[in-house]
Chains A and B, each alone.
Chain A
Amino acid sequence: EAAVTQSPRNKVTVTGGNVTLSCRQTNSHNYMYWYRQDTGHGLRLIHYSYGAGNLQIGDVPDGYKATRTTQEDFFLLLELASPSQTSLYFCASKTGAYAEQFFGPGTRLTVL
C-alpha cells in the first residue's frame, strides 16, 4: 500500500503570513501533485512534479509556489497567505498515467 503523509494536518495563519505545507511519499513514485478541495469545486490542481527538481504549473497556481527537493518530498509554499487560500489541501503521488493516484490525509489551512 502506497504511503503519502502530509504535515501539518491543521494550520491557522493570518493574512500575509508565510506557510509551508509538506508532503512525503515512500513508494518511489515519479509524479507528485498538490490539490486544493473546496465545496462546489471538487479537487483543483495547484502544482505537480515529474521528479526531483521538476515543477509543472497546474490549473489554479496563483499565490502558490512549490518545490520538489527529492523523489520523496514535495512542498507547497504560500508566501503571502490570503483568506481565499483557506481550504483543504491534498498531496498525491503515482507512478504513471494508468496508475492509481494515492492521496495523503490532507491539511486543513485557515487564513484569518
Chain B
Amino acid sequence: QQQVRQSPQSLTVWEGETAILNCSYENSAFDYFPWYQQFPGEGPALLIAIRSVSDKKEDGRFTIFFNKREKKLSLHITDSQPGDSATYFCAAIMATGGNNKLTFGQGTVLSVIP
C-alpha cells in the first residue's frame, strides 16, 4: 500500500518556467512533510519541509503548498534552472508520538531544458 503518492512520475519544463510537483498521502496522522532532492550518483538531501499546522512554506524559489483537508501538498519551483534537474521525493512522518519513520513517495524526475 503506497501511503505517499507523487505525480507526475516525470516532468519537463523550460528554463524560467514554474515546475509543479504533486504529492498526496493517506494517513491523517502524518504531521511533517519534508521534500528531498536527489542528483544522479548522490544520496537524497533535504530541500524544504512543512509542518501540518502551516499551509505554505517558502525558501527562495521553492514553495510548498499544503492542504490538510484534502491530504495534498505540492512543491512549486519558480524560475526553474537547469541545475534544478533532479529527482524530488515527497516524504511524510508522524513527528508527534510516532516511530521516527519517514515514508517516501515514488519520486518525480524533473528535467529543466535550457
Q: Which residues of A contact B (CB under 8 A)?
A: 4, 31, 33, 35, 40-45, 48, 50, 56, 58-59, 90, 92, 94, 96-98, 100-101, 103-106
Contacts and interface: CB of A to CB of B under 8 A. Distances in A.
A90 B46 contact: no
Interface residues of B, number: 27
Given A42-B105, A42-B107, A97-B93, A104 B100 contact: no
23 contacts: A4-B43, A35-B104, A40-B9, A40-B106, A41-B106, A42-B6, A42-B89, A42-B105, A43-B89, A44-B104, A45-B102, A48-B101, A56-B99, A58-B101, A98-B32, A98-B51, A98-B95, A100-B46, A101-B34, A101-B102, A104-B43, A105-B42, A106-B42
Contacts of A90: 43-44
Contacts of B93: 97
Interface of B: 6, 9, 32, 34, 36, 41-46, 51, 89, 93-96, 98-107
Contact of B95 (A41, A59, A97): A97
Contacts, number: 57
| Overall SS of chain B's interface | loop
Contacts of B94: 97
The 4 closest A-B pairs by CB, nearest first: A103-B43, A97-B95, A43-B104, A42-B106
Contacts of B102: 33, 45, 101
Contact of B43 (A31, A40, A97, A105): A105
Contacts of B96: 97
A24 to B, nearest CB: 14
Nearest to B89: A42
A43 B44 contact: yes
Contact of A106 (B36, B43, B101): B43
Contacts of B32: 97-98
Contacts of B36: 101
